[in-house]
């Protein structure tokens, strides 16, 4: 059997020894949304350290555990703290938790992140529904022997972010009086923020936001047939677009400032998809 698939099976076994919970929706929480998981009706939690072979996140502000529970009666599994490529893990480990949640039965995936705005129409604190992504800046998580058990060798990526889900997000946001942007997310490796020239490049490619996560997870999820949507919290204007220098503190502060609204939005989305 393929090494990566074997590792996944080992992780699944480890999780299944601890819970029989059957999630419908999987959620990955980005910066600022980390404590969302504490506000849901929690049934069970499993720390990543309890799962044999599981990659552990090292970024401050990212907790490392799966939370199983209910949001508006919908059974969900929440990844509280994700794994980033810049931490040094191979891409197959970065997307392992996403695949795991799919293998636990989740058919739908909601991705969230903090991102830099590359579109001059955006401002810090805006939310952006991800319409598409560009992953040219990072290795594909699907490189290597194909995991035939999960999906096809050459999967279609023409609608990574479900139009159906995007429409629901826009409707839910409108009903809540939340203005929502739309755009293309560009994933780069980090951990350094981009240079102004890189941001201009992203914009010329058609990118509206830049970040260090998400698109690889979306790709792995689509490979295995999950329905995917994503929302970015624009925490700052990307490098070179304002007079300010970038720092993680600003990202965290903006994320914290809009966290309450972001959480309310996510709750309504789960309840409606």
Q: Nearest CA to 113 among 201, 196, 216, 13?
A: 216
Q: Is 243 in the active site?
A: no
32 scored as a contact of ligand HPA (CB under 6 A): no
| String marking each residue 91-120 x if it binds ligand HPA according to CB under 6 A | -----------------------xxx----
- Contact between 127 and ligand HPA by CB under 6 A: the answer reads no
Given the residues 26, 85, 87, 133, select the one marked as catalytic.
87
What is the number of the residue whose Cβ is closest to ligand HPA?
A: 116
Identify the active-site residue in 26, 37, 79, 84.
84
Nearer to ligand HPA, 30 or 69 (CB): 30
Reply yes or no on whether 31 is catalytic.
yes
Residue from 80, 162, 214, 235 touching ligand HPA (CB under 6 A): that is: 235
**Site track for ligand HPA across 146-185, x = CB under 6 A:** ----------------------------------------
The two beta strands, 25-29 and 108-117, are parallel
Name the CA radius of gyration of the chain, rounded: 17
**In this structure, are residues 98 and 26 in contact, taking their beta carbons and an 8 Å threshold?**
yes
29 makes contact with ligand HPA (CB under 6 A): no
What are the residues whose beta carbons fall under 8 Å from the beta carbon of 170, sequence distance 6 or more?
A: 129, 180, 182
Beta strands per DSSP E along 172-256: 180-187, 209-211, 227-237
- Give the residue among 73, 99, 79, 86 at the shortest CA–CA distance from 12: 99
**DSSP-based three-state secondary structure for 268:** helix
Residue 223 a catalytic site member: no
- Which lies closer to ligand HPA via its Cβ, residue 184 or residue 212? 212
Which secondary structure element, helix H or strand E, spans residue 133, and what is its range?
Answer: strand 127-134
Q: Is 204 a catalytic residue?
A: no
Q: Residue 96: in which H helix or E strand, if any?
A: helix 96-103
Catalytic center residues: 31, 62, 84, 86-87, 114, 212-213, 236, 248
- Contacts with ligand HPA by CB under 6 A lie at 114-116, 193-194, 210-212, 235-236, 238, 246, 251
């Amino acid at each position: 059997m393929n090494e990566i698939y074997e590792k996944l099976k080992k992780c699944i076994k480890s999780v299944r020894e601890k819970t029989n919970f059957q999630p419908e929706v999987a959620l990955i929480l980005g910066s600022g949304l980390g404590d969302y998981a504490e506000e849901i009706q929690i049934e069970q939690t499993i720390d990543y350290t309890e799962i044999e072979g599981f990659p552990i996140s090292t970024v401050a502000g990212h907790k490392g555990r799966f939370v199983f529970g209910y949001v508006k009666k919908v059974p969900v599994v929440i990844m509280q703290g994700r794994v980033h490529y810049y931490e040094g893990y191979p891409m197959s480990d970065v997307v392992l938790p996403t695949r795991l949640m799919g293998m636990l039965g989740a058919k739908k995936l909601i991705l969230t992140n903090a991102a830099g705005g590359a579109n001059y129409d955006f401002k810090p604190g805006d939310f952006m529904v991800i319409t598409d992504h560009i992953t040219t800046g990072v290795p594909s998580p699907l490189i290597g022997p194909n995991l035939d058990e999960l999906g096809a060798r050459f999967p279609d990526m023409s609608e990574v972010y479900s139009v159906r889900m995007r429409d629901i997000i826009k409707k839910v946001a409108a009903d809540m009086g939340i203005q929502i942007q739309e755009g293309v997310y560009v994933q780069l490796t980090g951990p350094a923020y981009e240079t102004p020239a890189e941001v201009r490049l992203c914009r010329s490619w058609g990118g509206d936001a830049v970040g260090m996560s998400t698109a690889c997870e979306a790709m792995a999820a689509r490979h295995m047939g999950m329905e995917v949507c994503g929302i970015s919290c624009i925490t700052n204007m990307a490098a070179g677009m304002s007079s300010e220098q970038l720092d993680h503190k600003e990202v965290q502060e903006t994320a914290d400032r809009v966290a309450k609204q972001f959480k309310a939005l996510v709750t309504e989305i789960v309840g409606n998809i």
